[in-house]
């Protein structure tokens, strides 16, 4: 969510958190695990990020301030938001969806490996890592502090469009300022895993019962992962929302890191509506829980 921020900026932002929201919230375990048929899906909490209204510019409005104060937060934020990766297991196999921030965004993150260990899983046991997109709060944890591959045996799977965008020198040169520093981490990840990257396109089958769901706009190859077994389904939707408090009622409120804000809005509305119609259970990298989507008087609600 914050791939371009400096450590100083992050530290300053976390200093703004109400006292009660600092350490205890940072240490809060993720919810779950969730059963989806024979799959076990365990959110791995990498850390907690202080989202400031300047990162969702529309939130610096009376409507935004009302939502924040209604949630017990200061009117000017920040709103503490989780950063999650997900461990997905079935029949002795271990897959990861995203890997958290690692050490690239400073202190307060990099808990995915410890969360994996608490589940009895060593990094070398992970056979495949599906990456929702290449922003640092999802891909930074793929790297050791010296920028080598942290997962010795894992294949890295992501959308072809995502690899193309972050590998493109012209895209880097012409990117809006908040996006430009993200290229460094993205390219370090692609380099560290270069011999074991698999590119997929569209709604590819990632494993039996698990499909990619392209959700473009936040980044060109941003994707969710739809897990299905029998009648049970769970959509892990990546960064469709960075703030449940602000963006569920206002799906047209964009974050400053969207590559294509207009497409991000269209995608967010489309998937929220689909989830509401289909009664789909959803969770995400910046959601503290899972739930179903309902249409609300204003926008949508996670229930
Ligand atoms: Zn993110």
Mean pLDDT score, 236-259 = 97
Going from the Cα of 69 to the center of ligand 1, the distance in angstroms, rounded, reads: 24
- What is the rounded CA–CA span in Å between residue 218 and residue 239? 7
| pTM of the predicted model as reported, rounded to 2 decimal places | 0.90
Higher pLDDT, 8 or 167: 167
- What pLDDT, on a 0 to 100 scale, did the predictor assign at position 29? 59
Tokens of 247: 């963006």
Tokens of 176: 């809006």
* Burial of 70 from C-beta contacts in 10 A (0-12 / 13-18 / 19+): exposed
Going from the Cα of 72 to the center of ligand 1, the distance in angstroms, rounded, reads: 23
Going from the Cα of 286 to the center of ligand 1, the distance in angstroms, rounded, reads: 7
Higher pLDDT, 16 or 179: 179
Going from the Cα of 90 to the center of ligand 1, the distance in angstroms, rounded, reads: 26
Going from the Cα of 60 to the center of ligand 1, the distance in angstroms, rounded, reads: 20
Going from the Cα of 184 to the center of ligand 1, the distance in angstroms, rounded, reads: 16
Q: State the average pLDDT for the chain.
A: 90
Per-chain residues with Cβ under 5 A from ion ligand 1: 1, 137, 239
Per-residue pLDDT tens over the stretch 20-52: 333 334 445 568 899 999 999 999 999 999 999
Per-residue pLDDT tens over the stretch 99-119: 999 999 888 899 999 999 999
Going from the Cα of 161 to the center of ligand 1, the distance in angstroms, rounded, reads: 18
Residue 126 clears pLDDT 60, i.e. is over it: yes
Going from the Cα of 73 to the center of ligand 1, the distance in angstroms, rounded, reads: 21
Q: Which CATH superfamily is domain 7-302 in?
A: Ribonuclease Z/Hydroxyacylglutathione hydrolase-like (3.60.15.10)
Measured from the Cβ of residue 114, the count of other Cβ atoms closer than 10 Å reads 11
- What pLDDT, on a 0 to 100 scale, did the predictor assign at position 225? 98
Residue 4 clears pLDDT 60, i.e. is over it: no
- Domain layout of the chain by residue ranges: 7-302
- What pLDDT, on a 0 to 100 scale, did the predictor assign at position 16? 34
Going from the Cα of 162 to the center of ligand 1, the distance in angstroms, rounded, reads: 14
Going from the Cα of 101 to the center of ligand 1, the distance in angstroms, rounded, reads: 9
């Amino acid at each position: 969510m914050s791939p371009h921020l400096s450590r100083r900026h992050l530290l300053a932002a976390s200093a703004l958190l109400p006292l009660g929201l600092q350490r205890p919230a940072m240490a809060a375990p993720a919810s779950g695990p969730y059963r989806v048929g024979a799959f076990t899906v365990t959110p791995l909490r990498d850390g907690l990020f202080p989202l400031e209204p300047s990162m969702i510019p529309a939130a610096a409005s009376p409507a935004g301030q009302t939502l924040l104060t209604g949630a017990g937060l200061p009117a000017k934020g920040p709103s503490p938001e989780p950063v999650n990766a997900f461990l997905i297991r079935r029949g002795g196999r271990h897959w990861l969806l995203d890997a958290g921030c690692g050490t690239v965004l400073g202190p307060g993150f990099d808990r995915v490996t410890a969360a994996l260990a608490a589940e009895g899983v060593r990094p070398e046991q992970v056979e495949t890592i599906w990456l929702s997109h290449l922003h640092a709060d999802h891909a930074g944890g793929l790297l050791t502090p010296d920028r080598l591959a942290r997962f010795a045996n894992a294949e890295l799977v992501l959308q072809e469009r995502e690899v193309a965008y972050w590998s493109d020198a012209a895209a880097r040169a012409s990117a809006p300022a908040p996006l430009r520093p993200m290229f460094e981490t993205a390219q370090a990840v692609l380099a560290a895993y270069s011999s074991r990257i698999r590119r997929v396109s569209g709604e590819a089958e990632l494993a039996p019962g698990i499909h990619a769901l392209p959700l473009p706009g936040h980044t060109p190859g941003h994707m969710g992962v739809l897990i299905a077994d029998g009648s049970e389904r769970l959509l892990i939707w990546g960064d469709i929302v960075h703030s449940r408090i602000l963006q569920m009622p206002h799906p047209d409120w964009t974050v400053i890191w969207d590559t294509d804000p207009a497409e991000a809005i269209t995608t967010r509305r489309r998937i929220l509506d689909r989830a509401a119609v289909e009664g789909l259970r959803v969770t995400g990298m910046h959601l503290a829980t899972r739930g179903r989507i309902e249409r609300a008087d204003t926008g949508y609600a996670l229930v």
